[in-house]
């Protein structure tokens, strides 16, 4: 979502009074009724909002514009300052939701998550959030069009899982995890960098203590990475993030190739009908250790119950991989049992051996309580969403809603 120097001075549609920037052509600003005009400079640039000085535009997406900002009293401190587009600021429901989710996201504090340090409204009422500025490229830039070495994919995926584990423990589902929302800073040695997840301020809380706030017709998440249940408008939970992680790993290992290609309607239809294709089916000549391929395949199962149960389980599976095989130093054992074990639960592995899974192990993978669902409306898919932009959580096995989500 980086922005070039040319785009810094690109003409924009904005409100002549409040300065809200619009992607759609509104004759008048829905927020204050003033005329929407074309200007040759973003009105936010050079302004001061509260204690933040807005220096430059560094990103833009379907929800808002992101600026590099400095603290007025601590000039060496830099932040990513995200302002909601006027298209969304005009909706009272969206403004309320934006604020509530920013407040929840501000509670996250983890090395693999870009913190939300502040949020509020401009003097004209435009909602904004302030995040740590992460000085590093996005994962989509690092992927490029060349497959990443398997060892680096595993190292990055493990750190991404740690960030997700922290968020999920706080009851927050990102729901728009994708390479563009993962920024990578230099790491020690040859670890491949430290990934940090951004845009948790627009994530989904699975807290059911308040009414659902949704925006009719607004897409949540990104079709290329959203889980099948998310694309169908069914309940989702943290396993939707794990699906998006699997799709992200798929692109890392293939050099940016999507698991399914075609129009957005074709992609949605294929993804909601069946499991994502295996890496070798999509790219037969790809040399990826089968155990790693199995992990990606399990992450991208259509049914949430067939995926890993948690980010911690994914970490454990990644840790079990042989680094010598990942580096290509030794051949992968031909044992089918070894590769199939990744796709089996602890109970299934124990059953195959004629044993009973140890209680401690069984307890470790059994959720202590059902995950409360959030019912999302059916998500309309428009041609504009074809490249990237969808969303929503699923309950536990005893809940009838889960059966519907996994149907």
Rounded Cα–Cα distance for residues 99 and 102 (Å): 5
Contacts of 249 (CB under 8 A, 6+ apart): 153, 157, 295, 296, 299
Rounded Cα–Cα distance for residues 296 and 140 (Å): 18
Rounded Cα–Cα distance for residues 128 and 109 (Å): 19
Catalytic residue among 42, 55, 132, 176: 176
3-state secondary structure of 138: strand
| Torsions phi, psi for 39 (to 5 deg) | -125, 155
**Residues 318/298, Cβ–Cβ less than 8 Å:** no
Give the dihedral of Cα atoms 166, 170, 171, 173; nearest 10 deg. -40
- Which of 114, 119, 113, 2 minimizes the C-alpha distance to 56? 2
- Residues β-bridged to residue 183: 138, 196
* Token pair listed for 218: 């607004």
Rounded to 10 deg, the angle between the 239-254 and 311-319 helix axes is 40
Gyration radius (Cα) of the chain, Å: 22
Q: Alpha carbon 369 to chain centroid distance? A: 25
Rounded Cα–Cα distance for residues 235 and 195 (Å): 28
Q: How far is CA 225 from CA 172, 257, 268, 299, 354, in A?
A: 18, 12, 10, 12, 38
Q: Alpha carbon 135 to chain centroid distance? A: 19
Give the helix, strand, coil percentages of the chain, each rounded to 5.
35, 15, 50
Clarify whether 399 is annotated catalytic.
Answer: no
Rounded Cα–Cα distance for residues 198 and 181 (Å): 5
| Torsions phi, psi for 59 (to 5 deg) | -170, 160
User: Can you point out the beta strands (E) in 7-51?
Assistant: 12-15, 21-22, 36-39, 48-49
Active site residues: 176
């Amino acid at each position: 979502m980086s922005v070039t120097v040319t785009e810094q001075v690109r003409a924009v549609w904005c409100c002549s009074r409040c300065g809200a920037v619009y992607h759609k052509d509104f004759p008048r600003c829905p927020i204050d009724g003033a005329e929407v005009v074309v200007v040759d400079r973003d009105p936010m640039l050079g302004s001061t909002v509260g204690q933040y000085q807005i220096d430059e535009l560094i990103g833009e997406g379907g929800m808002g514009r992101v600026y590099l900002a400095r603290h007025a009293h601590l000039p060496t401190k830099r932040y990513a300052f995200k302002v909601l587009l006027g298209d969304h600021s005009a909706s009272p429901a969206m403004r309320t939701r934006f604020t509530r989710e920013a407040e929840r996201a501000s509670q996250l504090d983890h090395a693999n998550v870009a913190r939300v340090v502040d949020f509020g409204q401009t003097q004209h009422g435009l909602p904004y959030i302030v995040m740590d500025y992460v000085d590093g490229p996005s994962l989509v830039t690092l992927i490029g069009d060349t497959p990443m070495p398997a060892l680096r994919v595993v190292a990055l995926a493990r750190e991404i899982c740690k960030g997700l584990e922290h968020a999920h423990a706080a009851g927050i589902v990102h729901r728009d995890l994708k390479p563009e929302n993962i920024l990578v800073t230099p790491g020690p040695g040859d670890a491949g960098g430290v990934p940090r997840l951004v845009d948790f301020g627009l994530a989904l809380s699975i807290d059911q203590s308040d009414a659902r706030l949704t925006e009719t017709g607004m897409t949540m998440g990104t079709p290329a990475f959203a889980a099948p249940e998310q694309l169908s408008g069914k309940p989702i939970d943290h396993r939707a993030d794990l699906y998006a992680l699997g799709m992200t790993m798929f692109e890392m290992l293939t050099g940016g190739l999507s698991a399914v290609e075609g129009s957005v309607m074709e992609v949605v239809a294929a993804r909601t009908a069946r499991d994502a294709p295996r890496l070798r089916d999509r790219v037969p000549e790809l040399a990826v250790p089968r155990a790693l391929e199995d992990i990606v395949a399990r992450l991208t199962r259509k049914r949430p119950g067939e995926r890993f149960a948690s980010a911690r389980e994914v970490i454990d599976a990644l840790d079990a991989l042989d680094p010598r095989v990942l580096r290509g130093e030794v051949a992968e054992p031909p044992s089918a049992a070894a590769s199939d074990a990744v796709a089996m639960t602890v109970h299934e592995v124990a059953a195959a051996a004629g044993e009973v899974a140890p209680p401690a192990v069984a307890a470790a993978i059994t959720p202590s309580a059902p995950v409360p669902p959030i019912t999302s409306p059916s998500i309309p898919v428009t041609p504009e969403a074809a490249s990237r932009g969808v969303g929503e959580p699923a309950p536990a096995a005893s809940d009838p809603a889960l059966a519907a989500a996994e149907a």
